[in-house]
Chain A
Amino acid sequence: MKEENLLKTLWQGLRRNQVALGSLVFILAMAVGSALVSLLSPYSSGGFDEAHILETPSLSHWMGTDGLGRDLLTRILYGARVSLTVGVGTTGLALLMGTIYGLISGYARPQVDNLLMRIVDIFYSLPDLLVFILLSLVLGRNVMGLLISLGLVTWVRLARLTRGEVLQAKESIYVEGARAIGASGTRILLRHILPNIMGPIIVTLTFMVPVVILAESTLSFIGLGINDPYSPWGTSWGTLAQDGWRAMRTYPHVIFFPGLAIFLTILSLNFLGNAVRDILDPRGKLR
């Protein structure tokens, strides 16, 4: 299966699935909204407006205001930048590291493969969030630092998957054919094996995005995530929920809306993941 064909199959399948299409629209709307928020919203993400503290939703503030009188919808849209950047960026990093590692491990001599997989095993026997917290202490608690720490935690899953797929593909006839006409090892890996194992990789990646977004917002909620109040990125949804958590007793809207944003985003991404899996992996090998 060629790459264009893969994307075509994916799109044709998604077009027929209304839930997945709705989810895609929601995520795209969130992305566009967060990119254009400075044009769309009359409010800024920072500042202090003592006349409008903790207002409930109204026509001028659709989702109400927070403890410093800032418009909650605006802050949520700015927060989407953090979540989506971390989600997509981490997945990209994991794709790069995990795939390369897996390709090498799967194609290398058994001794090398064994050694490489031992390293992956060690990562596997630790709770993700724990490693992630330790790494983020070293790499800095801003968007970039978090993105890299999360990438360093999640790549192992992809490495394992890729290795397994390569081991299987190595035995197939098309690889034997390529070798028979004298293709080099790198060429076989990149031109023959990689395009053929893209399906399972894409499925795993789609499910990785919501997991990463959840991890980031969870950590920001308990105060171990992004700690960068003056960054132009905006405030993480987890931090917004944390602000709301403290005011929940009397002003539940301040936690309700950030919570809803996180929930709907993760739900859409999971629906999308389910659809992608049904299309690319109809026999249900993954997950």
Chain B
Amino acid sequence: MYSRKTTVINRTGLHARPASQFIDAAKKFTSRIHIRNLSLEEEDNLANAKSIISVLTLAMVQGSEIEIIAEGDDEKEAVDSLIALVDSGFGE
């Protein structure tokens, strides 16, 4: 298992187009990938990073602290590239 944390910097947060982009990127890897919204107060703050609906439910907005966790053959590559995508601000 491999995981890393970062902060959402783009204005839209993980909604709409950035959310779709994120899911599409996650689907390229074979590892199981999860995303956690550390800024969410509720206990249920973990979602399948390949499910658009579950990711939306986590309500990740600008400033949310998140963690991406992966397990599988390409876990390191998956986490690093997804973190890079979030840090890029989705081109906003």
Whether A and B are associated in the same complex: the answer reads no
A residues sitting closer than 8 Å to B (CB atoms) are: none
- Name B residues whose Cβ lies closer than 8 Å to a Cβ of A: none
